[in-house]
Amino acid sequence: MGAKAAENGAKSSSSAPSPPPLKAFFRLKTKQQELLIRVASLALIYVLAFAVRLFSVLRYESMIHEFDPYFNYRTTLFLTRNGFYEFWNWFDSESWYPLGRIIGGTLYPGLMVTAALIYRLLRFLTFAVHIREVCVLTAPFFASNTTIVAYFFGKEIWDSGAGLVAAALIAICPGYISRSVAGSYDNEGVAIFALLFTFYLFVKAVNTGSLAWALASAFGYFYMVSAWGGYVFIINLIPLYVLVLLVTGRYSMRLYVAYNCMYILGMLLAMQIRFVGFQHVQSGEHMAAMGVFFLLQVFYFLDWVKYMLNDKQLFQSFLRITLTFAISVGALALGIGTASGYISPWTGRFYSLLDPTYAKDHIPIIASVSEHQPTAWSSFMFDFHILLFLFPAGLYFCFKRLSDATIFIVMYGLTSMYFAGVMVRLILVAAPAVCLISAIAISATVKNLTSLIRTKGKAPLAVSGKGSSSLKASAKASADQSLPFQHNCAIALLVGAFYLLSRYAIHCTWVTSEAYSSPSIVLAARGAHGGRVIFDDYREAYYWLRQNTPADAKVMSWWDYGYQITAMGNRTVIVDNNTWNNTHIATVGRAMSSYEPEAYEIMQSLDVDYVLVVFGGLTGYSSDDINKFLWMVRIGGGVFPVIKEPDYLVNGEYRVDKGAAPKMLNCLMYKLAYYRFGEMTTEYGKPTGYDRARGVEIGNKDIKLEYLEEAFTTSNWIIRIYKVKPPKNRW
Amino acid sequence: MAKSSSSDAQALIRSLRSAYAATPTNLKIIDLYVVYAITTAVIQIVYMGIVGSFPFNSFLSGILSCVGTAVLAVCLRIQVNKENKEFKDLSPERAFADFVLCNLVLHLVIMNFLG
């Protein structure tokens, strides 16, 4: 036995020496080759999506960017140190002094829980990482996962070729990169993955009609609700899609199974998040889903009765009775609910999507956020490049081959493009739809072109091989001969298509490198000799606060910097980026825009110990508090009519030089920003006190502070901290 | 007018009843279960009307568990019904297993939400 086996073994090993890998590749069957190519490209796309987001980590260091991510980082830190129960029931007294903030009930926990789980897993595998590294790299990791989901989604809608192109496009699309770069530890990084995943699972459920897929989409929806407030888009798009299918007559039993299971289970799961609470049954933004739910019940019940009766006459009368009953009950319920105020109307942020002028007039705090402004054409071109004109082409292909899945992607694309036009931030939501639809256009076009090239090559072979026996072959040959340049045309078009795609890749890399990889907390500029100069003033100031002030000191600043002060400075702040209490913010705005004595009274009432302002006059940094000052005036004036915006303007113009309004020259913000600045020479050939950010010489150079004293100014004067003096002795 | 509408209604009810009698027994059992779930929901709503809706999460979880099981039972009926051409290659065991899984998730969430 043993000898025979050894003999066989020797034979087989001598007969077939192992071929080199390339030859082994060509020995595989076509299907296996295709699978290998697909898997290899997906793996490369996965790595690419991760790698392209690492510019800022390589150029600066691995740190958290911007403002909001610092809050997320602080809460994740708390979660990993104190466990989930403490996190879920956390009341934070270090922000919004003296009100405090119920953090457990006012945040979306998905991002923090995800990062904490990844951290636990890595620790379990004995990788000793710091939670900050995990937080910095969470967004690129989920961007890579999004490309995989995009591949499967594209495969579901069109075919696997479109899926591959979609994955490649979304890996480098600047609209998505802008919010998911390494260090941008924000809800959107995880939420876009959850959004696409939920949509994919739902489309799969509608296509297969299986309860298991619908359950999976309910869980996907739960993850989305836990991750981002933009889940309202899902809970309105899916009922709209169901309605469109009903109206166009494409309804089927699969739709009923998919939507009902997803709605009921998704709604129940979503209500477990405390921040969402009972909104699914009480808020006007979620009523569309409930309305469609009841409509579906009525619709399918009528369909069932019609099937059972088999008699048109009787069914008509039954239809009449039931419809009038159902519509009247529905209208009555809706009317009572809205009129009595039980169903709350569309609020604030979401209402300003339907009526873009609403926020400017009524809610200045929403209007002041730069990401909420309407989008300019240049932003679209910057963020989408060639996808912008491939989008209508893809829509054309989708309409040519309508199915349940393509109707969904068309609706997703159109609604998200409308919202992207209303608010710059929502280009992010439109990015996956645009990538998918453009991928359909690219894939279909390239397929047509390559099939043209292939048939031209095959037809002569067929004629020569089979002689003239097949009429079809001869007809084809004659048809091909009638368009002699078809082959060359197709090749030229293919070359053009690949050129466009390569330009897209170059543009995306350039955009990522230049525009979307700055940490915002560390600034860089070119020095006189071309070397790089780094301004690390923010962290310098926060660490000064951390090390040189008493532990219970309270810091007043504009709400932009609140999260960073609590996270890095570890001190109590008065207002922060959560902006949940407009009156509190207006109080701070009023203090900043009043004369010093009144401001001192307000600061006494709030127990303020330190005031922090951001000033860009020495460096030319233009996102400082003087440029944001008018928003402080507007928000303060919105609650306290004693602050009037025209008092600070001269002929409607905002000035800080000698011709500025007297109230402007003596308000607290002006004094704190320009204290001692009148003695500084900032540029060669300009007078002292030349403000480089505004480009003028300041008006009030001799500033004296009565109730505050300067505590710290950073090395480039970007952050200035003042200590509030205690009240003077009576005698 | 009234006579014709009432005779209409009678004819309607008669034909509905005869058509329904022809459905197989397993589907009738599922229909009975759906009616039971909806009745329980109606009883809960009437009770809420009498007593008030505090605590709201308990009320919601009670109502939604009834509505949820009713809806899932209807989905099961759709998938098991032999006359539905779309589901002819779905085995009834798989349909029932999905039904049980979804009900399990539903009731676990209800238990968490009950408060």
Model ipTM?
0.93
Tokens of A635: 């928000």
The region of weakest confidence among A240-249, A320-329, A463-472 is A463-472
Alpha carbons A288 and A604: distance in angstroms, whole number: 48
A272–B57 CB contact, under 8 Å: no
B99 touches chain A (CB under 8 A): yes
Q: How would you class A299 by CB atoms within 10 Å of its CB: exposed for 0-12, middle for 13-18, buried for 19 or more?
A: middle
DSSP state letters, A584-635: HHHHHHHHHHS-HHHHHHHHHHTT--EEEEE--TTTT--SSHHHHHHHHHHH
Contacts of A63 (CB under 8 A, 6+ apart): A132, A136, A183, A519, A521, A522
Strands A719-724, A690-691: parallel, antiparallel or unpaired by DSSP? unpaired
b or e along A82-120 (b: 16 or more beta carbons within 10 Å of the residue's beta carbon)?
eeeeebeebebebbbbeeebebbeebbbbbbbbbbebbe
Percent with pLDDT over 90 in chain A: 57
B90–A212 CB contact, under 8 Å: no
A361-364, long-range: CB < 8 A, 24+ apart? A364/A631, A364/A634, A364/A635, A364/A638
Calculate mean pLDDT across residues A209-236: 94
Q: Does residue A485 register a pLDDT over 80?
A: no
Over chain A, what is the mean pLDDT? Answer: 87
Alpha carbons A304 and B103: distance in angstroms, whole number: 24
Nearest to B71 among A215, A264, A269 (CB): A264
pLDDT digits (tens, 9 = 90+) for A601-654: 999 999 999 999 999 988 888 889 999 999 999 999 989 999 999 989 988 888
Residue type, A686: K
Alpha carbons A315 and A322: distance in angstroms, whole number: 10
Give the pLDDT confidence score for residue A702 in this predicted structure.
87
Strands A554-556, A696-697: parallel, antiparallel or unpaired by DSSP? unpaired
A240 touches chain B (CB under 8 A): no
Distance from CA of B36 to the nearest CA of A (A): 17
Q: Does residue A343 register a pLDDT over 90?
A: no
Nearest to B84 among A211, A253, A269 (CB): A253
Residue A233 near residue A188 (C-beta atoms within 8 A): no
B104 touches chain A (CB under 8 A): no
Q: Which of A191-200, A304-313, A688-697 has the highest mean pLDDT?
A: A191-200
Give the pLDDT confidence score for residue A484 in this predicted structure.
66
A340 touches chain B (CB under 8 A): no
pLDDT greater at residue A503 or residue A325: A503
Alpha carbons A460 and A415: distance in angstroms, whole number: 49
Tokens of A500: 């466009």
The region of weakest confidence among A271-285, A363-377, B42-56, B79-93 is A363-377
Give the pLDDT confidence score for residue A596 in this predicted structure.
92
B35 touches chain A (CB under 8 A): no
A212–B56 CB contact, under 8 Å: no
The region of weakest confidence among A27-31, A49-53, A545-549, B61-65 is A27-31
Residue A570 near residue A588 (C-beta atoms within 8 A): no
SS3 A249: coil
Residues of A in contact with B12 (CB under 8 A): 309, 314, 317-318
Residue of A nearest to B89 (CA): A208
Contacts of A54 (CB under 8 A, 6+ apart): A140, A182
Question: Count of CB atoms within 10 A of residue A408's CB?
Answer: 25
Calculate mean pLDDT across residues A298-302: 87
SS3 A550: coil
Residue of B nearest to A315 (CA): B12
A260–B8 CB contact, under 8 Å: no
Give the pLDDT confidence score for residue B24 in this predicted structure.
86
B12–A314 CB contact, under 8 Å: yes
B48 touches chain A (CB under 8 A): no
The region of weakest confidence among A462-476, A593-607, A673-687 is A462-476
Q: A404-422 and A131-157 helices cross at what angle (nearest 10)?
A: 130
Chain A, residues 182-221, CB within 8 A of chain B, namely 209-212, 214-215, 218
pLDDT digits (tens, 9 = 90+) for A455-471: 765 554 444 444 444 44
A210 phi/psi in degrees, rounded to 5:
-95, 140
Residue A648 near residue A664 (C-beta atoms within 8 A): yes
Calculate mean pLDDT across residues A566-589: 92
B90 touches chain A (CB under 8 A): yes
Distance from CA of B72 to the nearest CA of A (A): 7
Question: Count of CB atoms within 10 A of residue A710's CB?
Answer: 13
What is the count of residue pairs from A and B with beta carbons less than 8 Å apart? 91
Distance from CA of B77 to the nearest CA of A (A): 10
Distances (CA, A) of A264 to A179, A290, B67: 32, 10, 8
pLDDT greater at residue A509 or residue A333: A509
Taking the model in full, what pTM does it have?
A: 0.88
Look at the alpha carbons of A632, A637, A640, A646 in this order and tell me if their dihedral is positive or negative.
positive
- Name the nearest CA neighbour of A610 among A569, A651, A646, A652: A569
Give the pLDDT confidence score for residue A427 in this predicted structure.
93
Q: Does residue A577 register a pLDDT over 70?
A: yes
Nearest to A253 among B57, B86, B113 (CB): B86
Residue A713 near residue A612 (C-beta atoms within 8 A): no
Give the pLDDT confidence score for residue A97 in this predicted structure.
87
pLDDT digits (tens, 9 = 90+) for A92-134: 988 898 898 999 889 999 999 999 999 999 999 999 999 999 9
Tokens of A717: 């004067």
A260–B109 CB contact, under 8 Å: no
Assign A473 a pLDDT band (cuts: 50, 70, 90).
Answer: very low
Give the pLDDT confidence score for residue A10 in this predicted structure.
44
Give the pLDDT confidence score for residue A456 in this predicted structure.
61
B95 touches chain A (CB under 8 A): yes
Residue type, A23: K
Give the pLDDT confidence score for residue A181 in this predicted structure.
93
A215–B101 CB contact, under 8 Å: yes
Nearest to B87 among A253, A271, A318 (CB): A253
B113–A318 CB contact, under 8 Å: no
Q: Does residue A431 register a pLDDT over 60?
A: yes
Residues of A in contact with B63 (CB under 8 A): none
pLDDT greater at residue A584 or residue B20: A584
DSSP state letters, B25-81: HHHHHHHHHHHHHHHHHHHHHHHHHHH---SHHHHHHHHHHHHHHHHHHHHHHHHH-
Beta bridge partners of A708: A724
DSSP state letters, B80-108: H-TT-GGGTTS-HHHHHHHHHHHHHHHHH
Percent with pLDDT over 70 in chain A: 92
A278–B67 CB contact, under 8 Å: no
